[in-house]
Structure formats: C-alpha cells, structure tokens
C-alpha cells in the first residue's frame, strides 16, 4: 500500500489545531491510516489535574474503535509547529497494541516500522498462554 505521508501529516496538523493544551501550551496532533483505508486522528486533551491529561494518540485510538476498529498501518504525529514528533513511551505501547505488523511511523529520523521504535515489545502475543 502506497502511503500518502503529506496527506497523513495534514490530518495530524488539522487534529493538532483542535488540541486542548492550556497547561503545557504544547498542542499535539496524531493521525493514522487503517488497514481498511480510513484515516483516524486525535489531539491531546489536558486536565487541571495535570496527570489526567490524554495524549493525542489516546484520542486517536478511541476514534479507531468508534469508527469500526481494525489495525493501524501508518502513523504520523506533529507538534504545534507541524513538525514530526516522536510518540512518548506510553503511546508507543498504545500504538503497538493496535498496529498491523510493520506499521510505519513518520519519525524525526525518517520512516520506521513500529518494531524499531519499540524493540522487543511486550504485547498481546505475550498473553496468549
């Protein structure tokens, strides 16, 4: 499948513009292509109780399920300037759970598969006894 990274980044930017980030002033947008061709996106949503803030990837995964589920095949994340942003550690785990094998991420050092940004990951397979 040919990935339109420009379009995916544009979706992430659009989501970033909806961020609720009054405490960090660090809006984030995330967007992903699903295995059935949908694009899902999300923005960070902070809280006065700081630790409750949700990363952009969290709302993106909610949209994944709200719109029919499936697996993610390509992912892009941007900061307030629209520049590529690496997902935080927690979100790499979150993405791994819902990633198709070899899901590609646009990173600050090029396109990489999820297995490279979360090596030797713990995941659903570990729980199959």
Which of these is catalytic: 11, 46, 57, 63? 57
> Any catalytic annotation for residue 57?
yes
Give the burial class of 76: count Cβ atoms within 10 A of its Cβ; 0-12 exposed, 13-18 middle, 19 or more buried: buried
Phi, psi (rounded to 5 degrees) for 113: -75, 155
Closer residue to ligand THU (CB): 57 or 73 = 57
Q: Could you say which of 56, 64, 76, 78 contacts ligand THU (CB under 6 A)? A: 56
List Cβ neighbours of 8 (8 Å cut-off, separation of 6 or more): 31, 32, 33, 39, 74, 75, 76, 106
- By C-alpha distance, which of 81, 85, 111 is closest to 30? 85
CB of 17 to ligand THU, least distance (A): 14
Closer residue to ligand THU (CB): 23 or 65 = 23
Give catalytic residues, as residue numbers: 57
| Residues found near ligand THU in the complex (CB under 6 A) | 21, 24, 26, 28, 44, 46, 53, 55-57, 87-88, 91
């Amino acid at each position: 499948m040919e990935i339109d990274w420009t379009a995916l980044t544009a979706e992430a930017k659009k989501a970033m513009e909806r961020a609720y980030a009054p405490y960090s002033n660090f809006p984030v947008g995330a967007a992903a292509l699903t295995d059935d061709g949908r694009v899902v996106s999300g923005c960070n949503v902070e809280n006065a109780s700081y630790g409750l803030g949700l990363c952009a990837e969290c709302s993106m995964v909610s949209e994944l399920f709200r719109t029919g589920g499936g697996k993610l095949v390509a992912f892009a994340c941007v900061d307030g300037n629209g520049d590529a942003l690496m997902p935080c550690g927690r979100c790499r785990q979150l993405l791994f759970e819902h990633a198709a094998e070899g899901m590609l991420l646009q990173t600050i050092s090029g396109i990489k598969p999820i297995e490279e940004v979360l090596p030797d990951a713990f995941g659903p397979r570990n729980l199959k006894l």
